[in-house]
Amino acid sequence: MMVAVNEIQPPQLKDHEFTLFQEFIYDAAGINLSDAKKALVSGRLAKRLRELGLSSYGDYFKLLKATASSELQMAVDLLTTNETFFFREPKHFDFLRTQVLPTWVSGQRRIWSAASSSGEEAYTLAMVLAEHCPSDLWEIVGTDISLRMVNKARSGHYAMERAESIPRNYLNNYCLRGTGSQEGTFLIDASLRSRVQFNHANLKTDLSQYGQFDVIFLRNVLIYFDMETKQQVVAKLLRQLKSGGYIIVAHSESLTNVTDSVRMVVPSVYKKP
Catalytically active residues, by annotation: 44, 144
**Identity of the residue numbered 184:** G
Give CA–CA dist 178/228, Å, rounded. Answer: 45
For every residue of the chain, DSSP letters joined together read ----GGGPPPPP--HHHHHHHHHHHHHHH-----GGGHHHHHHHHHHHHHHHT-S-HHHHHHHHHHS-HHHHHHHHHHHS-----TT-STHHHHHIIIIIGGG-SSS-EEEEETT-TTSHHHHHHHHHHHHH-S-S-EEEEEEES-HHHHHHHHHTEEEGGGGGGS-HHHHHHHEEE--GGGTTEEEE-HHHHTTEEEEE--TTS--GGG--EEEEE--S-GGGS-HHHHHHHHHHHHTTEEEEEEEE--TT---TTT-SSSEEEETTEEE--
- CA proximity to 199, closest of 211, 214, 186, 185: 211
C-alpha distances (whole Å) from 66 to each of 61, 70, 72, 80, 136 are 9, 11, 10, 21, 49
